[in-house]
Amino acid sequence: MSIDLSQFIPSFLEESFEGLELMESSLLNLEQGDDETINSIFRAAHSIKGGAGTFGFDNVTEFTHLVETLLDEMRDGRREIVQGDVEILLESVDCMRLLIESIQNDTDCDDEKIAITSSLLTQTLDGSVSTPVLDDATDNYSSTVKQNNTSITWVIEFIPEHHLVQTGNDPLFLFNALAELGSVEIEANSAELPSLNDMDPEELYLRWKITLVADTTEDDIKEIFEWVEDECELTISQELAGQSSEPESVKSEPELSVTEQNISAQQTEPSPAVSEEIKPAPSEEAVPAKPNKPVSPVASKPVKSKTDVGSIRVGVDKVDNLINLMGELVITQSMLSELGNDFDLSKVERLNTGLEQLLQNTKELQESVMRIRMLPISFAFNRFPRLIHDLSKKTGKQIELVLKGEQTELDKTVMEQIGDPLVHLVRNAVDHGIEPTETRIANGKPEQGVITLDAYHQGGSIVIEINDDGGGINRNAVFEKAVEKGVVEANSSLTDSQVFDLIFEPGFSTAKELSDISGRGVGMDVVKKNIQALGGRIQVESVEGQGSSFKVNLPLTLAILDGQLVRVGTEIYIIPLITIVESLQTQKNLINRVSGDMVLYRLREDNVPVLPIYQLFNLASDTTQVEDSLLVVVEADGQKVGLMVDDLLAQQQVVIKSLNDNYQQVEGISGATILGDGSVAMILDIPGIINIAQNSSRSNQYASANPEEVLP
């Protein structure tokens, strides 16, 4: 299976820039003991690392890993947050941006700066650098180089062949690159210059002698000249340290340009490099076309573009369809308005037809608009084969990836947001799920581990399953870790699924060793947060020795919901249609009262707990007796409950409005909508309600000694 990963690179870049911006702003506001901020910085770094790993941008992954390690120490409180470290981190953010920009623009980047920053990071991690030096160093890394006693004076003789500039190389870029290493002094030797008459303006006649004072190696210098190696004579020699021209070299940049101007003053230099500066070029010949990009990656820092609004690619047929529908809508509208001009009762018939047509048109239009946003989930899945390939190489585990249901369609926003969480889950499955080959063989399993990604529709939501046939989650290890982290009490008794849910706590990881694949415990809490932000849910199932299964439940779209309107007292609520199993009138003989308040209703083979909404929400209601009341049986997370309501009203599609914009999240309510008459109705959050009910029944048992505490 070959997949063109490059189509996803733009979205990675976009996400990364967002992450970097977040890191930067958070770093600037970072204070001691500010866990949330440092966690968010860490998450941003982690996501960038993950993405870079997927696309094989190893330099980004390596660099970010260092940053992440430092952040991890800060997060765990092993390292105090001092300004010097924050400076280094900021510098690192710049480096990461450079690296990512270089991917974006497909240019080389300032390797030297990155090398220096990463060595600073390493030193900081080793704890060998004192803070004041760091401040300086990060302020301007070249000044560190100067302060550093290990600076060596290099003398480079650079004699290019005459045709060097024709191959698209420009000595100026080389010198700029050298200037980034340290301070340079450049002398041009124009002895070879022929007289103006004999001169070919497309040839290069100059040679240079460069004195470089820098803490660098011969290899680094050679690397700069790598592209012109075959087209010049290059001698690199080392002058003895000590006699370096430290004071002069401070103004290395001006020196460089002064020298250039000296040359140009002679007005004899036909090199394109200089003719750029002294346009028009002395020779009336056109400046030779330069095939290389005119922007030197080191000299130009592209202006950071604002993250633009996401775009979507839509087939022309879909747009044509929309225009058609739009046309019909306009026709209907004009027909209706004509009808209204002088309306009398004889036209009622036509009015009704018109309204019906309007309804039809609106529906179709809505559907087509929604379809524009739908994309097959393969867009999210396609990055995994490469990921698995790389990971299995890295870990030495043999893994087969099985993709199913790739054509399942999903809203674009949901798709974009779900990518990262899925990467985390798959990485986790590889790293923690699948056991090393020897263990597998010892346990009588096939050598090759299998990870399955499956997507399918279930009601109005989409389910993505990530299954592995690995070792499963070690219940005890998770529990012990949770106790150690203080998440749960040592003597508390939890069900298996409650224990597995603990892995979604921040900073939770049972992996013994850190790796750059996963294992810092950052992934899972981000995964859960992201999924919840989408209005989705994640469930874990695991059988020790047989593997784990993560089930991600997502809404198909974030904007519209099919709802059942119900009335409780004077209030109207909306129950998402997908959660409703059935609605029924209760029959007395099927009602069972169990201990305390709990009422169970016998629904064929099931016993369904009855939750009166008026009680949950403290409302006045018409019916307070379960007998002969209306029960809407809903299901969420595999749990069925019967919601007791006063009346069942219409079913309709509602547009979801957030309550969070101007207010806060309300327990048991997932959002609000505006009904046809302009009033606001709440949309019930069924899993949330079940949760409230379970919690209150648990505290009911707990507080049975003083029951008035829990009863409303």
Q: Per-residue string for binding with other proteins, 591-620, x by CB under 8 A?
A: -------------------------xxxx-
Own/partner pairs, 590-596, CB within 8 angstroms, 24+ separation: 591/626, 591/627, 596/697, 596/700, 596/701, 596/704, 596/707
Identify which of residues 217 and 694 has a Cβ nearer to other proteins in the complex: 694
Residue in 266, 300, 324, 679 binding other proteins, rule: CB under 8 A: 679
Shortest spacing between CB 637 and other proteins, in angstroms: 21
Q: Is 668 in the site for other proteins (CB under 8 A)?
A: yes
Q: How far is CA 210 from the centre of its chain?
A: 45
Residue in 198, 662, 676, 708 binding other proteins, rule: CB under 8 A: 662
Cβ-based burial of 280 (10 A; exposed 0-12, middle 13-18, buried ≥19): exposed
Q: Which residue type, as a one-letter code, is found at position 22?
A: L
Span of 63-71, 350-358, 548-556, 652-660 interacting with other proteins by CB under 8 A: 652-660
Q: Is 161 in the site for other proteins (CB under 8 A)?
A: no
Q: Is 394 in the site for other proteins (CB under 8 A)?
A: no
Q: Is 2 in the site for other proteins (CB under 8 A)?
A: no
Span of 152-160, 556-564, 586-594, 678-686 interacting with other proteins by CB under 8 A: 678-686
Q: Is 560 in the site for other proteins (CB under 8 A)?
A: no
Span of 23-31, 184-192, 347-355, 651-659 interacting with other proteins by CB under 8 A: 651-659
Shortest spacing between CB 44 and other proteins, in angstroms: 19
> What 3-state class would DSSP assign to 581?
strand
Q: What does the angle CA 243 – CA 248 – CA 254 come to, to the nearest 5 degrees?
A: 140
Q: Which residue type, as a one-letter code, is found at position 224?
A: I
Q: Which residue type, as a one-letter code, is found at position 293?
A: K
Q: Is 649 in the site for other proteins (CB under 8 A)?
A: no
Asked if 449 and 399 touch (Cβ cutoff 8 Å), the reply is yes
Span of 11-19, 74-82, 385-393, 674-682 interacting with other proteins by CB under 8 A: 674-682
CA pair distance 406, 454, nearest whole angstrom: 8
Span of 214-222, 508-516, 653-661, 700-708 interacting with other proteins by CB under 8 A: 653-661
Q: Is 258 in the site for other proteins (CB under 8 A)?
A: no
For residue 71, the tally of other CB atoms under 10 A from its CB is 27
Which residue bears the tokens 């300086």? 136
Tell me the CB-side half-sphere exposure of residue 272, using CA atoms within 13 A.
22
Q: Is 669 in the site for other proteins (CB under 8 A)?
A: yes
The site that binds other proteins (CB under 8 A) totals a number of residues, namely 23
**Largest pairwise CA distance in the chain:** 114
Q: Is 661 in the site for other proteins (CB under 8 A)?
A: yes
User: How far lies 423's CA from each of 8, 273, 382, 547, 582, in Å?
Assistant: 13, 46, 11, 18, 37
User: How far lies 217's CA from each of 104, 145, 157, 238, in Å?
Assistant: 29, 13, 16, 10
Q: Is 442 in the site for other proteins (CB under 8 A)?
A: no
Phi, psi for residue 205 in degrees, rounded to 5: -110, -5
For residue 510, the tally of other CB atoms under 10 A from its CB is 18
Identify which of residues 29 and 585 has a Cβ nearer to other proteins in the complex: 29
Q: Is 6 in the site for other proteins (CB under 8 A)?
A: no
Shortest spacing between CB 612 and other proteins, in angstroms: 13
Q: Is 663 in the site for other proteins (CB under 8 A)?
A: yes
Tell me the CB-side half-sphere exposure of residue 301, using CA atoms within 13 A.
7
Q: Is 672 in the site for other proteins (CB under 8 A)?
A: yes
Identify which of residues 658 and 699 has a Cβ nearer to other proteins in the complex: 658
Of 38, 2, 39, 47, residue with least CA distance to 20? 47
Residue in 127, 291, 396, 678 binding other proteins, rule: CB under 8 A: 678
Q: Residue 274: which residues within 8 A CB-CB, separation 6 or more?
A: 172, 260, 263, 264
Identify which of residues 460 and 688 has a Cβ nearer to other proteins in the complex: 688
Element (H, E) at 400: strand 399-404
Q: Is 632 in the site for other proteins (CB under 8 A)?
A: no
Shortest spacing between CB 39 and other proteins, in angstroms: 20
Span of 56-64, 160-168, 366-374, 680-688 interacting with other proteins by CB under 8 A: 680-688
Q: Is 680 in the site for other proteins (CB under 8 A)?
A: yes
CA pair distance 669, 663, nearest whole angstrom: 12
Q: Is 307 in the site for other proteins (CB under 8 A)?
A: no
Residue in 135, 220, 239, 571 binding other proteins, rule: CB under 8 A: 571
Of 310, 540, 271, residue with least CA distance to 412? 310
Q: Residue 654: which residues within 8 A CB-CB, separation 6 or more?
A: 560, 561, 563, 574, 673, 675, 681, 683
The full DSSP string for 464-510 is EEEEE-S----HHHHHHHHHHTTSS-TT----HHHHHHGGGSTT---
Identify which of residues 116 and 565 has a Cβ nearer to other proteins in the complex: 565
Identify which of residues 390 and 571 has a Cβ nearer to other proteins in the complex: 571
Shortest spacing between CB 658 and other proteins, in angstroms: 8
Own/partner pairs, 528-531, CB within 8 angstroms, 24+ separation: 528/504, 530/417, 530/418, 530/420, 530/421, 531/418, 531/421
Residue in 666, 691, 696, 697 binding other proteins, rule: CB under 8 A: 666
Identify which of residues 36 and 342 has a Cβ nearer to other proteins in the complex: 36
Shortest spacing between CB 663 and other proteins, in angstroms: 4
Q: Is 622 in the site for other proteins (CB under 8 A)?
A: no
Q: Is 664 in the site for other proteins (CB under 8 A)?
A: yes
Q: Is 711 in the site for other proteins (CB under 8 A)?
A: no
> Using CB under 8 A as the criterion, which residues of the chain lie in contact with other proteins when the complex forms?
571, 616-619, 657-659, 661-664, 666-669, 672, 674, 678-682
